[in-house]
Amino acid sequence: MKKTMYMNPIVLERADPWIYKHTDGYYYFTGSLPGYQSIEVRRAKTIDGLKEAETLLVWHAPETGPMSQLIWAPEIHYIQEKWYIYFAASDHAEIRDREHHHRMFVLENSSIDPMNTDWEVKGQIITAADTFSLDGTTFTHQGKLYYVWAQLDPRIPGNSNLYLSEMANPWTLTGKQLLLAIPEFPWEKRGFSVNEGPAVLIRNGKVFITYSGSATDENYAMGLLWAEASADLLDGYSWHKHSEPVFVSSEENKQFGPGHNSFTLSEDGQEDVLVYHARPEKNEGIDPLNNPNRHANAQVFSWDTEGFPVFGEPVAYAADVRASFQAK
């Protein structure tokens, strides 16, 4: 069976890409914008169409305050007949310490069509600890709304761990906040000890959570957690973790640091699609967060006989696309 092939990169200079396929037939796309000061939404009827799609800046950071700097990793979701954008922000562009670091926030839009600037700030996602936190995503399972995110715990060595909580509504956590995963394997601790960028996929009687580890240069890679769909997701014993990454840099295909992914379906709804960012060359001599060469890619993936995802390796750009990067 032939897999759909997408013309990567699907969107240039968009790290942390998020695609949501809505019932109106559109793919809605957002991701981190270079400069980290605003949130963009674009939409198209096809994934390849996102490259030249209808685009709108739906929200811009205020000049001061906790949401004024470093707007990272927005995600657009449709929950309970309203639109929500989850993102992380800081109050300072340079200082990152106990007082000046990222927290998570939510925008809400009640319109049927979200391509407008009627987005209202619902507020901060309040977690049990008031520490560095980012990369929140949501999913619904067995009638319950859940939130997964990355956060620093100063008692645990490293930069960020993954947590899971049920939600009382799309902007409020409720009940137990489970420590889901910490950086423990060598591949998760290259440059920085990181578990971040979770994305959820429910298939084959299991709940899968992919995530990203290590520094955001060519060491960045994807890992995998899973639980049985019938299990209590807030019981830590329900979860399992691969010791090895499931998606890594490809020297042969010139794709480096793949990660911070999302999932969607192909245009005919028959294939699962991995959406991720990667760099066409290794990061050299610059803070990787200030290097805008992370581009959004999409590729179809398969499943093994035990019902686990098989992502393969990041696909190469077409020869003419690669040549255009080399000419710059």
The DSSP annotation for 261-302 comes to EEEEE-TTS-SEEEEEEEESS---SS-GGG----EEEEEE-E
Confidence grade of residue 327 (pLDDT, cut at 50, 70, 90): low
User: Tokens 């009940």, residue?
Assistant: 175
pLDDT bin (cut points 50, 70, 90) of residue 164 is very high
**Average pLDDT of 156-175?**
97
Q: How many residues does the chain have?
A: 328
Chain position carrying tokens 């040549």: 323
3-class DSSP state of 216: coil
Residue 2 has pLDDT above 70, yes or no: no
Give pLDDT, residue 111.
97
The answer to whether the CB of 106 falls within 8 A of the CB of 84 is yes
Q: Write out pLDDT tens, residues 131-157.
A: 999 999 999 999 999 999 999 999 999
Query: How many Cβ atoms are within 10 Å of 210's Cβ, its own excluded?
Result: 26
pTM score:
0.97
Rounded distance between C-alpha atoms, residue 327 and residue 319, angstroms? 12
- What percent of the chain is predicted at pLDDT more than 90? 92
Residue-wise pLDDT for 80-135, tens only, equals: 999 999 999 999 999 888 888 999 999 999 999 999 999 999 999 999 999 999 99
Determine the residue type at 3.
K
- 238 and 277 Cβ atoms separated by less than 8 Å: no
Catalytic residues: 16, 196
- pLDDT of 323 reads 76
Tens digit of each residue's pLDDT (9 = 90 or more) over 227-280: 999 999 999 999 999 999 999 999 999 999 999 999 999 999 999 999 999 999
Q: Is the bond into 9 cis (omega within 30 degrees of 0)?
A: yes
Taking the C-alpha atoms of residue 181 and residue 264, their distance in angstroms, rounded to an integer, is 24
Residue 3 CA, chain-centre distance (Å), reads 24
Residue 328 has pLDDT above 90, yes or no: no
Q: How far is CA 316 from the centre of its chain?
A: 21
Quickly list DSSP for 22-66: -TTSPEEEEEEPTTS-EEEEEEESSSGGGGG-EEEEEEE--SSST
169 pLDDT higher than 90: yes
